[in-house]
Structure 1
Amino acid sequence: MSDIRYVSEGTRAAIRRTRREDGAEFIRRARESVGFHRPWLTLPTTEQAYEYYISQLEREDREGFLVCVRTTGDLAGFININNIVRGAFQCGSIGYGAFPPTAGQGYMSEGLGLVLRYAFGPLGLHRVEVNIQPGNKASIGLVKRHGFRLEGFSPDFLHIEGAWRDHERWAMTSDMLDSGPEPADGPA
């Protein structure tokens, strides 16, 4: 871990950029998480799929982060900012997923806070959006804790696990970052 630099550190979690060299560990965690993420999310579980995933993160309109346990560097999850649009919009779409066995222990909540501060700070975004399937209570709880507002419903929005899935649209603007509810102490 000595050659890996964190982009930002919190009390328990830290974020760092996703790299090509993370492939083997990411794939291992993704394989361990298949049942945990179904039907919400499909992750790259082969070298070829990871190669495509990382090539997408290397585009100018994307930022990819790994959420790590700050003291050990162990992967707790990932958070990506996708489809970044500049100009008058200054917006990005956030996608994320936790990895067991650290899921539910607050690392993703702290990691999302770090990513939001990066998005609204150095990245210069005005708005971020998250699209969540209505039955994904853990993910909805995560964005609510960070002060996102529900803006609408998109039927048949994303093709996941072989089907078009409905999603709720949640969003936050830069002025909402520190005015939202405080994240709850303890696991998230």
Structure 2
Amino acid sequence: MGRPQRVTLRRITSLDQDEFLERVHASTDLFGPRMPLPATPEAFQAFLGRFDEGQSADGLLICLRDTDVIVGNVNINSIIRGRFQSASLGYAAFEPYAGRGYMSEGLGLVLRHAFEELRLHRLEAQIQPDNQASIKLVQRLGFRNEGYSPDLLFIDGAWRGHERWAVTNDMAGLVPDAPHPTLPAH
């Protein structure tokens, strides 16, 4: 029997605004321009508007099980159905909780949610090569490096190259009982 989970996963809501903004402000040195999260109430409300509970994007929070304190943020972005059944991940740990293994546990729950509940086949993470903490995180979770794309994402005023990391539901051992209804039979 494995270690009990220290974290839970839940969808972000408007009720999270104040705590989320506090965590973002406390963590700007941690992720800097790499993960541009909303820093004002207006930006937070716009951020929430991107999510539609797993239809095209899903906004999730990693929270401490005992206190429900927010320790990290995960976005399942650009969900594409049909023959692709794929999405991109964006994530950030918050201070003072970074470096304690909460993101590893939380992203493990995200994989279960994405593969079993959303019934996706593949998740991708685009990571800047100097972000070694993020690379180690996805490696721990079984993602494979699929190469480097120059000028992939526009971050902090410039196009930035990223390593592309991916994991499939069969690689993670989380194949759903039935495929998503939008997957063609042939």
> Normalising by the residue count of structure 1, what TM-score does the alignment of the two structures yield?
0.87
Identity level (%): 51
Match of 1:33 among 15, 27, 32: 27
- What is the Cα deviation at residue 97 of structure 1? 0.1
- What is the Cα deviation at residue 25 of structure 1? 1.1
Give the root-mean-square deviation of aligned CA atoms.
1.3
1:114-133 aligned at under 5 Å gives the runs 114-133=109-128
Structure 1 position 102 matched with structure 2 position 97: yes
User: How big is each residue's C-alpha offset from its partner over 1:41-68, in whole Å with a ceiling of 9 and x where there is no partner?
Assistant: 1110001111111001237301111001
- What is the Cα deviation at residue 174 of structure 1? 0.6
Equivalent residue letter for 2:15: E
Q: Which residue of 2 aligns with 1:6?
A: none
Q: Which residue of 2 aligns with 1:7?
A: none
Segments ≥4 residues shifted beyond 4 Å: none
Match of 2:82 among 82, 87, 104: 87
Residue 17 of structure 1 contacts residue 64 of structure 1 at CA under 8 Å; is this kept in 2? yes
User: How big is each residue's C-alpha offset from its partner over 1:115-156, in whole Å with a ceiling of 9 and x where there is no partner?
Assistant: 101111011000000000000000000000001000011111
CA distance in 2, matches of 1:178, 1:124: 13
> Normalising by the residue count of structure 2, what TM-score does the alignment of the two structures yield?
0.88
Unaligned runs of 5+ in 2: 175-186
User: How big is each residue's C-alpha offset from its partner over 1:55-108, in whole Å with a ceiling of 9 and x where there is no partner?
Assistant: 012373011110011111111001110000000000010110000001000111
User: How big is each residue's C-alpha offset from its partner over 1:2-46, in whole Å with a ceiling of 9 and x where there is no partner?
Assistant: xxxxxxxx6111101100111111111111111111242111000
